[in-house]
Amino acid sequence: MKKYALVTGGSRGIGRAVSVKLARMGYDILINYVSNAVEAQKTLDAVRGEGRDGEILMFDVSKRSQVAAVLEAWQDAHPDDYIEVLVNNAGVRRDNILVFMPEEDWHRVIDITLSGFYNVTQAVLQPMLVHKQGRIVNVASVSGIKGLAGQSNYSAAKGGLIAATKALALEVARKRVTVNAVAPGFIETDMTEGLDKAALKNTIPAMRFGTPEEVAELVGFLASPHAAYITGEVISINGGLYT
Ligand code: NAP
C-alpha cells in the first residue's frame, strides 16, 4: 500500500523542500499550490527524482468548498488509501503597521494561515483517526511566538495556528495522530526576497538565514515514527533569533 503525504503550498520554498524530504522517507506526495503551476511541476519532478510519485492538487486553502471538492475527489479516486501526513505550510505575508493595514490584508493572511488550517485539516482528519495513524505538522513562525512589528496580521494568524495545534493535539492523541508546529525564523525563500538581508543577519546569533532543507529535516522528523510521543509542541528553528 502506498503512503501519502499532503503538503500545502508545496510548489515553492519550504513546501518544496518538505515534499522532497517526505518523498525520501517513502511517501507519495500530494503537492498543493494556488497559482504557480510551473513551480508545482518542478516539485513533482524533484519528488520523482527521489523515486516516489505524486500528484499536483490546485486549491486555495482559504476556500473551504474548493478544498473539500478537490480532496473528496482525490479520496474517491483512491478508496483504499488515505493521507497519513499533512503539512499545513501554505502561507503569505502582507506586512504593514496596524495603523495603516488595509482590512483586506488583515483578512487575507488570517484566512490563508488559520482558516486554511481548519479547511484542509478537517478534510483529511477522519481517515487518520479511523486508521489510528497520522501526522499533522503546521508551519508557524517566530512571529507567532514573540510577535514582530509590522506583522500583526501574520503574528495573529501564526499565534492562532500554534494554539490550534495544541488544542487539536489533545483531541486526537489517543488515536495515535500527532499534531505539532514548527516555528522558523528567517529562511531563504521567495517570502524573504526583498528584505534587507545584510542588516537582518546581524540580528541572528547564527549570522545567517536558514535553508528550506533545514526546516524540511525538522518536519520530516516530526512526521517520522521516531516522533510518535511528541505532540502539541511548537519547535523553533531560527538560528537563535528567539529562544
Ligand atoms: P513561499 O516561498 O512564498 O511559498 C509560499 C507557498 O504557499 C507557495 O507554494 C504558494 O503557492 C503557497 N500558497 C500561498 N497562498 C496559498 C493559498 N491561498 N492556497 C494554497 N497555497 C498557497 O513561502 P515560504 O517561505 O516557503 O513559506 C512557507 C511557510 O513557511 C509559510 O506558511 C510561511 O508563513 C512560513 N514561514 C516562512 C518563513 C521564511 O522566512 N521564509 C519564516 C517563518 C515561517 P503558489 O506557488 O501557487 O503561489
Return the C-alpha cell found at 55: 500528484
Q: How far is the CA of 12 from the centre of ligand 1 (A)?
A: 7
pLDDT one-digit tens code per residue, 63-79: 999 999 999 999 999 99
151 bridge partner residues? 96
**Could you confirm whether 242 is annotated as catalytic?**
no
**One-letter identity of residue 101:** M
Indicate which residue of 4, 82, 154, 229 is catalytic: 154
DSSP string, 150-163: TBHHHHHHHHHHHH
- Which of 57, 63, 71, 89 to probe ligand 1 with, by most ligand atoms within 8 A of CB? 89
Any atom of ligand 1 within 6 Å of the Cβ of 215: no
From the alpha carbon of 35, which atom of ligand 1 is closest? 47
Q: Look at the block and give the residue holding cell 540580528.
A: 203
Whole-model pTM? 0.99
Write down the pLDDT at residue 160: 98
From the alpha carbon of 111, which atom of ligand 1 is closest? 18
pLDDT one-digit tens code per residue, 201-227: 999 999 999 999 999 999 999 999 999
Share of the chain above pLDDT 70, in %: 100
Any atom of ligand 1 within 6 Å of the Cβ of 210: no
Model confidence at 16, pLDDT cuts 50, 70, 90, reads very high
